[in-house]
Structure 1
Amino acid sequence: MLTNLKEQPKDKILGLMAMYREDPRQTKVDLGVGVYKNAEGVTPVMRAVKTAERKIVEEQITKAYTGLAGDPVYSEAMIDMLLAQSVDKARLAAVATPGGTGAIRQAFELIKTANPKARVFVSDPTWPNHVSILNHLGIEMVKYRYFDAETRGVNFDGMMEDLAEVTGDDVVLLHGCCHNPTGANLNLTQWQSVIDLINDKACLPMIDIAYQGFGDGLEEDAAATRLVASSVPELLIAASCSKNFGIYRERTGLLIAMSEKAENTAIAQGNLNHLNRQNFSFPPDHGARVVATILTDDTLKADWMAELEETRLGMLALREQLASELQRLSGSDRFGFLAQHRGMFSQLGTTPDMVEKLRVDNAIYMVGDSRMNIAGLNKNSVPILAQAIVDAGI
């Protein structure tokens, strides 16, 4: 039977990482892999995480299973961080998941269970795993215009024109903040227009929020998600703790399902629990317990928020340095969008051939669609990247 298996497509980012490791050039720059790195090229363990882990080791008395939904203290703490007082919590069902990817997978499974005819509208471009999981599950995907390669901003008119085709059977997938891969985000006025369309079409919105705290601040990055939650009858939210808590390998995520009425919450919760049972039984607990420990301890939470803000401001400084250096070298302000984008990523808006030229000529590694991880830079590598971009004629 196993001889019938077909070779699966290679992961482009993992392939890029292998090429980077094998490149002997001392000036090589890795802008491909989507993890935060400090100036020394290390993804650090945050101070509050270390303290929380020590506390857990000292106080934990069992490694027995949690419930199917995970630790309720974790879910409650995450809901407070994401949604604050924007919605009646009695309408919310939630389950812990193996990372944000697990939350997205469970959300798509829930959609398929609720309506096998549902189509999912995704931004063009979007995070590749969105597309991969939808295809794997056999859910029809429809792309809507999002990124304008000329302005390197949001093509909002095109987006709204494409979303006008949505029906009540469909789902609109939105990035809560720090759009991946482009770094270009909707403003709150545009968000309100999207909400009005969603309500007019009676479709289901889904928000993927993986970078809260990496854009404009912890509260500011939640503003759009809270606005949607307070304005629509139903909502799915897939959240990740990988980036803002720096616990990538702990696989810590959360899926929230908001029902129109509180009396429907128990059914939604039962379905979420069922999906967890079918896919992995009980969700992993260590990362979730770390997050819960931090968010429920005022001192740890304050230290975590301070370090998260340092991380955010560091990435913003790199953006501003790169935009300034490109302006100096090119004599043009056409790269000003880099300082306006938010989060870890920006998309240059150039061709795969140009991306390959940067790799071959200058050891600059980025994904073929020209997505680059700003956190892969430091003060010394910014001038190298800027010069390479200008020399390539981008």
Structure 2
Amino acid sequence: EFGDAARGLLFGTDHEINTSGRAATIQAPGGTGALRVAAEFLATGFPGARIWCSRPTWANHPNIFRAAGLEVAEYGYYDESTRGLDADALFDSLSQIPAGDVVCLHACCHNPTGVDPSAEQWQQVGDLIAERGLLPLVDFAYQGFGNGLDDDAAGLRALARPGSRLLVASSFSKNFGLYRERVGALSVVTGSPETAAVVLSRLKRTIRCNYSNPPAHGAGIVTTILGDEQLRAGWVTELSEMRTRINDMRQALAHGLAEAAPGQDFSVITRQRGMFSFSGLTPEQVDRLKDEFGVYMVRNGRINVAGITNDNVARLCESIAAVV
């Protein structure tokens, strides 16, 4: 039941991947656990394949993949000058990755930049992956926090074509408020139901010598809510409220910075999506924020927008203005 619920949220209940039975899904202890199982599956099943991560990516991605024995490489993604997507670098990188290698993609709300491809660009990514014979590993940690559940899944669904093969590590930690319950899933889309059964057996063997059995409570909550029309509707409403609050804080941050540091353009913050914003602050400026103003953020300049409130946004903006 949990696997069906997880895949239904990813692809849509009536998607061919779900109706054909060609996907295998296992429960994992959070999105990180799902990524680690995926990494071990890839390391044993695709020996010699490298895994390519966006530049930049979530700091733990390379750690997880290397710990499983995978070689990690980078593909172009972010343009520091525009603080937006470097589409040319992305497409150029994908067009040069050797066939059989794995590409780690952020489904939405890219961490740490908050910069996502457009729907058209996702189609181009899907075309290149299919043409090059690459295997996507999609990290889906923030479904519902960008533009909505289905909109956020549009990139993944652009990759999920007839006959496509891919892996999806999904997390329910944030969108269900179950961070400490460790609820994640790894879905492996194969070419046939028979292959899916073989993959499921291999995944179970990997899990058996890792965490053996995942926690049941959080997954039971997710399964119950997604399987009940009324409960699901209430959850969708609450998730929408969370997304709206984060976007409101984006607007407040951009507006406050524009007032505190006139002459500088902070409008890009409002175009980013998800919990994080790539501020463009240097490590030295981040250190000054910590030492002089007691404001903390990751040294790459990533701001946790979800941690901003109406009470602290003015102080945050004034502090940033003092160091830029």
> RMSD value over aligned CA atoms?
1.3
Specify the SS of the correspondent of 2:64.
helix
Q: Does the CA contact (< 8 Å) of 2:49 and 2:71 recur in 1?
A: yes
TM-score, normalising length: structure 2: 0.96
Alignment CA distance shift 1:231-1:315 (3 Å): farther
Q: Report the equivalent of 1:346.
A: 277
Distance 1:352 1:333 in 2: 19
Distance 1:358 1:388 in 2: 7
Q: Does the CA contact (< 8 Å) of 2:98 and 2:132 recur in 1?
A: yes
Aligned sequence identity (%): 41
Equivalent of residue 247 in structure 1, options 170, 178, 189: 178
Q: Report the equivalent of 1:290.
A: 221
Q: Report the equivalent of 1:143.
A: 74
Q: Report the equivalent of 1:82.
A: 10
Specify the SS of the correspondent of 1:77.
helix
**What do the CA deviations read for 1:352-386 (whole angstroms, capped 9, x no partner)?**
11110111121110001111100111012111111
* Residue identity matched to 2:9: M
Equivalent of residue 211 in structure 2, options 273, 280, 289: 280
Equivalent of residue 120 in structure 1, options 38, 51, 57: 51
Q: Does the CA contact (< 8 Å) of 1:250 and 1:287 recur in 2?
A: yes
Q: CA offset at residue 224 of structure 1?
A: 1.1
Q: Report the equivalent of 2:60.
A: 129
Distance 1:88 1:384 in 2: 49
- Greater shift in the superposed pair: 92-101 or 332-341: 332-341
- Greater shift in the superposed pair: 323-332 or 346-355: 323-332
Specify the SS of the correspondent of 2:72.
strand
Distance 2:183 2:51 in 1: 24
Q: Report the equivalent of 2:143.
A: 212
Distance 2:2 2:170 in 1: 12
* Residue identity matched to 2:17: D
Specify the SS of the correspondent of 2:257.
helix
Distance 1:219 1:196 in 2: 21
Q: Does the CA contact (< 8 Å) of 2:36 and 2:68 recur in 1?
A: no
Structure-to-structure mapping, 1:69-218, within 5 angstroms: 73-84=1-12, 85-89=14-18, 90-218=21-149
Distance 2:212 2:77 in 1: 37
Q: Report the equivalent of 1:6.
A: none
**What do the CA deviations read for 1:260-294 (whole angstroms, capped 9, x no partner)?**
22331111111111111121222211110010011
Where does the alignment leave 5 or more consecutive residues of structure 2 unmatched?
none
Specify the SS of the correspondent of 1:365.
coil
Q: Does the CA contact (< 8 Å) of 2:99 and 2:132 recur in 1?
A: yes
Specify the SS of the correspondent of 1:245.
coil
Q: Is 1:367 matched up with 2:298?
A: yes
- Greater shift in the superposed pair: 129-138 or 197-206: 129-138
Q: Report the equivalent of 1:325.
A: 256
Q: CA offset at residue 138 of structure 1?
A: 2.3
Distance 2:31 2:321 in 1: 36
Q: Does the CA contact (< 8 Å) of 1:211 and 1:240 recur in 2?
A: yes
TM-score, normalising length: structure 1: 0.79
Specify the SS of the correspondent of 1:364.
coil
Q: Does the CA contact (< 8 Å) of 2:38 and 2:186 recur in 1?
A: yes
Q: Which has the higher contact order (CA 8 A, sep 6+)?
A: 1
Distance 1:287 1:126 in 2: 27
* Residue identity matched to 1:80: G
* Residue identity matched to 2:317: A
